[in-house]
Amino acid sequence: MAENCNHNCDSCGQNCSSRTAPNSFMAEANAGSHVKKIIGVVSGKGGVGKSMTTSLLAVAAARQGKKVGILDADITGPSIPHMFGYHGRATGDGTNMYPAQSNGGVNLMSINLLLENPEDPVVWRGAMIAGAVKQFWTDVAWGELDYLFVDMPPGTGDVPLTVFQSLPIDGIVVVTSPQDLVFMVVEKALRMAEKMDVPVIGIVENMSYVKCPDCGKRINIFGECNVEAMAGPHGIGRFAHLPIDPALAAACDAGKVEEAPEEYVNEVAQLLI
């Protein structure tokens, strides 16, 4: 035992005979939840289409006949219920909370389903936000699910850390856009995943191109795509490329993401594990 030992092995770097195993932060799932795979959807910065990608992944899995849920972990900027056209409230029985369900059968849990007015801001500090996300795992009875997708806020702060440590994540999908500045920030998310021993399933490059409505030519308005080059050092081999398409944006805005064009749903479906 080291001198002046305070018996707190979590904060000590000494390798002594009295050392105990570090405490696990893994949270126990709700007794009413039986989830086969949990996939987090992350980005280094906001505005790159992370929630849209999460929704398309859920739609892709649902179209394959899977039972699917989305945990909206973006507490201060929730958009999942709107994308699925759901404007009701989540329910509970005093012991458990129960997710809402979209027209296509996707289970949804979001802070917006608990607010009196969905437009009210959530003005909480990081610890409260992280605690709410954890409760969406421990207190929500998700039922039998093949996939639970976690739509995380951008960055590498409290919520991603809580999800990585508290939920049994099977892997993450990283969302980016073609600009070099975004790649630099996304690199931080990739390195965080590596430090937390969370597998990176693949990368979605959103706003990758625009297709000319007359000739069909692809125009890279933000520059040539080089997401594969960025992913190479990390051993990532699966990619999806989504265009700027007013029809897809309109479907999300109208709450009809479940009616998204087949080609885009199929593009992200290759990232399902």
pLDDT, tens digit, 9 for 90 and up, residues 106-140: 999 999 999 999 899 999 999 999 999 999 999 99
- The closest of 204, 254, 205 to 39, measured between CA atoms, is 204
21-31 burial code (b ≥16 CB/10 A, e <16):
eeeeeeeebbe
Q: For the segment 157-172, what is each residue's pLDDT rounded down to a tens digit?
A: 899 999 999 999 999 9
The residue type at 120: D
Q: Once rounded to an integer, what is the mean pLDDT over residues 175-194?
A: 85
Q: Give pLDDT, residue 10.
A: 46
Summarize the confidence of residues 15-25 as an average pLDDT. 58
Of 5, 6, 13, 68, nearest in space to 36 by CA? 68
Percent above pLDDT 90 for the chain: 71
**Looking only at Cα atoms, what is the longest distance across the chain?**
76
Distance, in Å, from the CA atom of 169 to the CA atom of 173, rounded to the nearest integer, reads 11
SS3 state at 194 = helix
Summarised one tens digit per residue, pLDDT across range 53-80 is 999 999 999 999 999 999 999 999 999 9
How many residues appear in the chain?
A: 273
Q: How confident is the model at residue 145 (pLDDT cuts 50, 70, 90)?
A: very high
Supply the pLDDT for residue 46. 86
**Cα dist. 205→54, 67, 107, 116, 125 in Å?**
13, 26, 26, 35, 31
Query: Which residues, listed in sequence order, are joined to residue 97 by a DSSP beta bridge?
Result: 92, 140
Q: Is the pLDDT of residue 15 over 60?
A: no
Render pLDDT for 194-244 as a digit per residue (tens, 0 to 9). 999 999 999 999 999 999 888 989 899 887 767 887 788 889 989 999 999
Cα–Cα nearest to 152, from 128, 177, 178, 134: 134
Average pLDDT over residues 251-260: 96
What is the predicted pLDDT for the residue at 3? 58
pLDDT band at 45 (very low <50, low <70, confident <90, very high): confident
pLDDT of 250 strictly over 70: yes
Cα angle: 36, vertex 38, 41; to 5 degrees: 155
Cβ 240 vs Cβ 205: under 8 Å: yes
Instruction: Please report the pLDDT score of residue 99 as a whole number.
Output: 97
Phi and psi torsions of 85, nearest 5°: 70, 25
What does the pLDDT read at residue 228?
A: 81
Mean pLDDT, the chain, rounded, equals 90
Q: Using only C-alpha atoms, what is the Rg of the chain?
A: 20
